[in-house]
Amino acid sequence: MKKEKREMKLWKKILIVIVIILIIFVGITLRKLIILNDIDNKVSKLENNNDNIYIEVIVNNGTHISKLTRFIKDNIDKVIVENIDNKGEKTTTIQITYPNQRKVFTEKDGMKVMSVYDETAPKRGAHIENTTSSSYSSIVNFAYNNSIPEKILDSVLTNIKDMKMDEKQCYELSSLYNSNFMYSENKKEIKAYIEKDTGLPIKLIEVVNENGKNVENVTTYKYQFNIVTDEDMQEPNNQEYTLQR
């Protein structure tokens, strides 16, 4: 009888420990779910409520630098991509998307080529996939999700830390799996830094294994609103480019 009582007490203690662990796990997961949902809501509102956006994204892996500058005004989207390789050679591509036409201007090695495509532009917006046949978001959102199961999975697997980055209060997001991270076999670590007040990304750090060595790829983000002018949206001089058919 005493032995049975001791075993019963032991199982009660084990059960209490399991319940405590489950409560802690649920609490931590719920906190992360709330944070990710808050980031998603903030960025989605910025995306859907602004027709004048300036975006600057710089990617640096130590040997190659790529800069993307984006101007959005009303229903026109202009993207400038500048790539500089390890030899210092520069390639510039300018893409301007109108509601029913897209123009691409490319300059490399002194050659200037222009392409024109008559096509309907996708609709810009967050969480509008069910309202249009083609859509896209211009603001990077590391908490974007349309599926409740994916939201829960991201909350379980994503580590979230409070920290300061570039004098701003941020969240550090890192994970072996996150539906908004781009994974590959060579990527060893991914960390995204999100400004708490706005939900906007500040920096993305990816550790990649290249030829047996770990290389750090750093992407920085900059967003401004209501500063884009008509002059920013102008096309390059078409007469300087050869039309490619």
DSSP result, 40-73: HHHHHHHHHT-SEEEEEEEEE-SS-EEEEEEEEE
Q: Is residue 23 part of a domain?
A: no
- Reported pTM: 0.86
CB atoms within 10 A of CB 37: 14
Q: How far is CA 77 from CA 49, 104, 107, 201, in A?
A: 16, 12, 19, 20
Q: Is residue 131 part of a domain?
A: yes
Q: Is residue 111 part of a domain?
A: yes
Residue 183 is predicted with a pLDDT of 67
* Of 132 and 230, more confident: 230
Q: Is residue 10 part of a domain?
A: no
> What are the tens digits of pLDDT across the range 200-237?
999 999 888 777 788 888 999 999 999 999 999 999 99
Do the beta carbons of residue 100 and residue 77 sit within 8 Å?
Answer: no
Q: Is residue 176 part of a domain?
A: yes
CB atoms within 10 A of CB 221: 20
What DSSP assignment string belongs to 119-181? -PPPEE-SS-TTT-SSEE-SS--TT--S-HHHHHHHHHHEEEEEEEETTEEEEEEEES--TTS
pLDDT at 125 > cutoff 70: yes
Whichever domain contains 145, its CATH number is 2.50.20.10
Residue 40 is predicted with a pLDDT of 94
> What are the tens digits of pLDDT across the range 137-196?
999 999 988 788 888 888 888 999 999 988 899 999 988 677 777 666 677 788 999 999
The token duo for 242 is 């050869």
HSE at residue 169, side-chain half, CA atoms within 13 A, is 4
Q: Is residue 76 part of a domain?
A: yes
> What are the tens digits of pLDDT across the range 34-74?
999 999 999 999 999 999 999 999 998 877 889 999 999 99
Q: Is residue 3 part of a domain?
A: no
Q: Is residue 47 part of a domain?
A: yes
Q: How many domains does the chain have?
A: 1
Owning domain of residue 67: 29-243
